[in-house]
Amino acid sequence: MKGKLKYKGGPGSGHHGHSGIPGKVGGSLPSGGSAKPADLNITTSLGTSAARDAKTRKMLNGWADEYLPESVIDRVPRIIVYTSEERFNNAMKLVGLYDKPLEKGQYIAGFNEGHTISLRQVGPMNLQEDWKNAFLHEVGHSVWDKANSDKKQGWENRWAKYPNFDKFTWYSRASYTEGFAEAFAAYCGYPKGSRKASDPKVQEVFDLIEDMIK
């Protein structure tokens, strides 16, 4: 498979990412506060207004500032935001993901081809929390792609050994790379500067992530 999918539950399915994680507050820059505001390479698909484009860019850059570790900002590839479902579907078709069957009530929120993150901003994806998690998840794939191969092997080995790697979301079980992307998104949901989990098993995962993003 060339791309990496993020399946999300449909409305009412109960699969809404990380809302159950304690301590998820967000909102502050790391101490020192001298970070430059994020300026990600974001393109929106045609057929939308300039005002909506600006709002979309502001939202994604705001999330990058609020949630992404500083060392990760440079690893974010270009982002294409599809405000048209048809165009998003065509983009998936181009990378060979179109015919992949989905379970009833699921939809694809984004995919990452390495050089591009594509996000679908239509229908249920207008739910900000879902969209934010899809963004963080796809960035997680880029973090993975650029990580050192020994560290990736370490993650894979521990994934195979410890079932606690399953715990972030139902979708984590899809594969160790999807599990990494989900864990990364969960990690980003913790406030910057104090990404400490009360559960030692979760903290073990966070330690691995921190080692990968150094």
Q: What span, in angstroms and rounded, lies between the C-alpha atoms of 13 and 62?
A: 28
Task: In angstroms, give the least distance from the CB of 6 to Zn ion.
Answer: 4
- By CB under 5 A, name the one of 91, 181, 183, 197 that touches Zn ion: 181
Bridge partners (DSSP) listed for residue 42: 79
How many residues sit close enough to Zn ion to count as binding (CB under 5 A)? 4
For position 4 contacting Zn ion by CB under 5 A, the verdict is yes
Per-residue burial over 36-75, b = 16 or more CB atoms within 10 Å of its CB, e = otherwise: eebebebebbeebeeeebeebbebbbebbbbbbbeebbeb
Three-state SS sequence of 148-193: CHHHHHHHHHHHHHCHHHHCCCHHHHHCHHHHHHHHHHHHHCCCCC
Q: Which is nearer to Zn ion, 6 or 195 (CB)?
A: 6
41 secondary structure, DSSP code: -
Nearest to 168 by CA among 19, 14, 57: 19
Task: In angstroms, give the least distance from the CB of 181 to Zn ion.
Answer: 4
Q: Which is nearer to Zn ion, 3 or 69 (CB)?
A: 3
Q: Which is nearer to Zn ion, 60 or 109 (CB)?
A: 109
Q: Which is nearer to Zn ion, 8 or 191 (CB)?
A: 8
CB 102 within 8 A of CB 6: no
- By CB under 5 A, name the one of 3, 6, 125, 155 that touches Zn ion: 6
Neighbours of 16 (CB within 10 A): 17
Instruction: Using the rule CB under 5 A, give the single segment among 3-11, 56-64, 157-165, 201-209 that binds Zn ion.
Output: 3-11
At 108, is the secondary structure helix, strand, or coil?
strand
Task: In angstroms, give the least distance from the CB of 121 to Zn ion.
Answer: 17
Binding mask 77-116 vs Zn ion (x if CB under 5 A, - otherwise)? Answer: ----------------------------------------
Instruction: Using the rule CB under 5 A, give the single segment among 50-58, 99-107, 126-134, 171-179 that binds Zn ion.
Output: 171-179
For position 188 contacting Zn ion by CB under 5 A, the verdict is no
Task: In angstroms, give the least distance from the CB of 145 to Zn ion.
Answer: 12
Nearest to 68 by CA among 22, 1, 133: 133
What amino acid occupies position 32?
G
For position 183 contacting Zn ion by CB under 5 A, the verdict is no
List contacts with Zn ion (CB under 5 A): 4, 6, 178, 181
